[in-house]
Amino acid sequence: MAGTAVSRRLIWRVATLVGARMETPTARTLVLQVPDWPGHLPGQHVDVRLTAPDGYSTQRSYSIASAWPGDGTIELTIQRLPDGEVSTYLTDIYRIGDPIELRGPVGGWFVWRTAQNSPVLLLGGGSGVAPLMAMIRARGAVRGRQPFRLIYSVRTPQDALFADELARRVRDDPGLDLRYVYTRKTPEAWPEPPRRIGVATVNTYGWPPEFEPDCFVCGPTSFVETAADILVALGHNSQKIKTERFGGTS
Amino acid sequence: MTDFMVDGNAMAGDLREIFAMDVTAATVICAGCGLVGAVATLRLWGHPPGIVARCPQCEEVVLRIVRAPDRVFLDLRGALRIELPLPS
């Protein structure tokens, strides 16, 4: 993170798409080469700016889903939304070799540092799992021993991002646990019907408040508010709960 | 449904363009109700070039950023105080 200590104006850089993969039918991971990338902390995001030939410009913030091993590329995982003018371009049209304007990394609040020793509770809704995945990957990269638990709410099993990698990491990264919450359709033989995240799930699969975990909650606004309320109701210190929400009304 | 972040976190880029450090991690006191919290926890309305950040408790306007081609307007009317941690 040497670069971020330098007080200089944040600039837009021209990144290039060097790889891409579909995580689900509607979510695409972009692998971007960014010149002179200073490195980032898990949880930080970038601003992406698109400019049309007529000069119309629009920008969005996207969490970085990858950890930073010291060099290489960064990854953004974009969920296509029906009327998302930026997300549909990035999932459907943006091609390998194309440039894009990007600035970052930014955001020093919703971040996890590998030097933090507290247990960590991650609550992710939909594509809100992206910055939490960066934390899980960063922990894996340094073989961190902090106890990590992820409760991941998705509509159906097919909507889960990073499902294979998460299954592998639960097996290979000691101290990482994962519990899914399915809101519309469950896998076969799942022990409970589809439901939204609730007190019982967080109580059973999260950490007790006495462990004083660092809690990170990211997802659509309704998910984040529900999950944060549950944490407070269970007795977690609101100062230890960090949230990041996206989306307007749903 | 929109595809952008809607809390103060999302202002980090626009603020970092103006300030030498990350202001979203700073503590702000709302002039409306006195709530103390991170700038990152404010609720955002709109998106660049015009952002309004409101208090999550009383919903008063805490700060506004308006970006013009050659300048930026920063209105801090609802911030009683901003406390910035200095790197040691």
Tens place of pLDDT per residue across chain A (250 aa): 444 444 467 889 999 999 999 999 999 999 999 999 999 999 999 999 999 889 888 888 899 999 998 888 999 999 998 888 899 999 999 999 999 999 999 999 999 999 999 999 999 999 999 999 999 999 999 999 999 999 999 999 999 999 999 999 999 999 999 999 999 999 999 999 999 999 999 999 999 999 999 999 999 999 999 999 999 999 999 999 999 998 643 3
Interface with chain A: mutation pick from B4, B19, B51, highest number of A CBs within 10 Å: B4
Q: Could B10 and A61 be called an inter-chain contact, meaning their C-beta atoms sit closer than 8 Å?
A: yes
pLDDT at B4: 55
pLDDT at A8: 65
pLDDT at B43: 92
Which residues on chain B are in Cβ contact (under 8 Å) with A242? 40
Residues 6+ apart with CB under 8 A from B80: B29, B30, B31, B34
CA B85 to each of CA A38, B61, B80: distance values in angstroms, whole numbers, following the listed order: 21, 23, 17
β-bridge partners, A133: none
Give the integer Cα–Cα distance in Å for A156 and A153: 9
Helices A163-172 and A129-141 pack at an angle, to 10 degrees, of 30
Q: How many CA atoms lie within 13 A of A54 on its CB side?
A: 1
In terms of CA atoms, which chain A residue is nearest residue B46? A248
Query: End-to-end CA distance of chain A, in Å?
Result: 35
Radius of gyration for chain A, computed over Cα atoms and rounded to the nearest angstrom? 18
DSSP per-residue string spanning A129-150? HHHHHHHHHHHHHTT--S-EEE
CB nearest to B1's CB, from A5, A60, A250: A250
Interface with chain B: mutation pick from A6, A13, A59, highest number of B CBs within 10 Å: A59
CA A83 to each of CA A24, A59, B3, B74: distance values in angstroms, whole numbers, following the listed order: 18, 15, 8, 30
ipTM of the complex: 0.88
Q: Which amino acid, residue B17?
A: E
Whether the CB of B4 is below 8 Å from some CB of chain A: the reply is yes
Average pLDDT, chain B: 89
Between B3 and A71, the more confident residue is A71
pLDDT at A170: 98
Give the integer Cα–Cα distance in Å for A67 and A73: 10
Collapse the DSSP code of B39 into the 3-class scheme (helix H, G, I; strand E, B; otherwise coil) and give the result.
Answer: helix
Closest Cα to residue A43, out of A116, A101, A98, A95?
A116
Quote the minimal CA–CA distance from B42 to chain A in Å. 11
Answer yes or no: is pLDDT of B2 > 80. Answer: no
pLDDT at A22: 97
Number of inter-chain CB pairs under 8 A, A vs B: 92
Report CA B17 to chain centroid distance, whole Å. 13
